[in-house]
Structures are given as C-alpha cells and as structure tokens.
Copies of this chain bind each other. A is one copy, B any other.
Amino acid sequence: MREAALRAAIELIAQQGYAATSMAQVAAAAGISPSGLAHHFPSKNALLGAVLDHRDAEDTFVRERSHEPWSAFDHMVHVARRNMGRRRLVALYMTMIGEAVAPEHPAHAWMVRHYADVLDTLRDQLRADQQRGTVREDAPVEAIARSMVSLMDGLQVQWLLDESVDMAAVLAESVAAMKRTWGTELV
C-alpha cells in the first residue's frame, strides 16, 4: 500500500535523514519488496517529494490573516506547543533542514520556499501592526522576524535532544519580551 510506504519513509527519514535512508529499508519497513515500492515511487527523489508534500500538509503554519496584534507570533507559540506531541514531524523537519542547506540537495528548493513563506508571514504581520499603531514604528521588522524563526528552529533541536525542554514556554517568554520591547500601549 502506498500509504504504508509513505509512513515508513517518513519514519526512517526522520530518524536517519534522506541520504542515509535506502529504498530497501523503506520497502522492508513497509512490508513490501523494493520493486513493489518502486511501483508507487519510481525513484528515491519521487519518494522524497511525497514525504515533503505530506509534511507540508501536516504543518499548520499557513499564511493566516488576523487583525489581532502579534497573532502570527502567538500562533507560532501554539504550533510549538502542538509540536511537543509530534516528535516524528519535528525530527523530519530538522533532518531535512540540515541536509537541504546544500544548494544541490533535492529538497533545497522546498527549504528556500519554506523560509520565504514563514518570514514573509511574520514581516507582513509586523508591518500591518505598525500601520495599526500596535507595534512601534522604529521596530526592526527584519531582525524580529528572523529572530522568531531562529528561536522556533533552534528550540526544536534542543527539544529533540531533551524532551523535557518546554519549547512553547521558552518561545512564549521571548514573544512576551518582544511585545514589551516593541509593542505600543495600544495593545
């Protein structure tokens, strides 16, 4: 079954990375032969594409429009909390990021798009808040957005090493500090 093969691939790539995972391993974990796997995914690259599509579908950080100040930032805290119950998804994300920084990696384009999307969402939120007067005019939009993404990414690494780390709490602390520093009294 295609579904079982996809799940097996996600599990293995999350644990070992894409380069270290072989088609034979995926096939064995799915309970079929390598050729049976090849029927659904004619190449290793095609399998990776399906894995990334599945990941994006499960990742809820979509561009959402809200008029609440800092709502995109609060939403990331919420995502962090939910991720603390989804180790497989977090591990898959981090192994992909680590491999796909290389420009030649088959997932590099996916990674570039992912960062562009998240950064754009945060930048848009900050600029909209500035126009509404809930974020100070002199707030460094670019630095704040990039810091938020860095915190999100870095905390996932530390949480994978030690699940007692409360990603959401640490992130919420930083978001609160951002609000204190760059928010206006209008909030």
Contact = CB atoms under 8 A, between A and B. Distances in A.
Number of copies of this chain that the complex holds: 2
B97 A102 contact: no
Given A19-B20, A150-B154, A101 B143 contact: no
Given A95-B98, A98-B98, A143-B173, A149 B154 contact: yes
Given A99-B99, A140-B173, A153-B157, 6 more contacts: A17-B98, A95-B98, A95-B101, A98-B98, A149-B154, A150-B153
Contacts of A91: 101-102
Contact of A161 (B20, B101, B140): B101
19 contacts: A15-B104, A17-B102, A19-B19, A19-B20, A97-B98, A98-B99, A99-B99, A101-B160, A143-B170, A146-B155, A146-B170, A147-B151, A147-B173, A150-B150, A150-B170, A151-B151, A153-B154, A177-B177, A177-B181
Top 9 nearest A-B pairs (CB, nearest first) are A98-B98, A150-B154, A19-B20, A153-B154, A19-B19, A154-B154, A143-B170, A143-B173, A101-B160
Interface residues of A, number: 43
Interface in A12-27: 15-17, 19-20
Contacts of A16: 19, 102, 104
A169 interface: yes
Interface string A150-187: 11111101101100010001100110011011000000
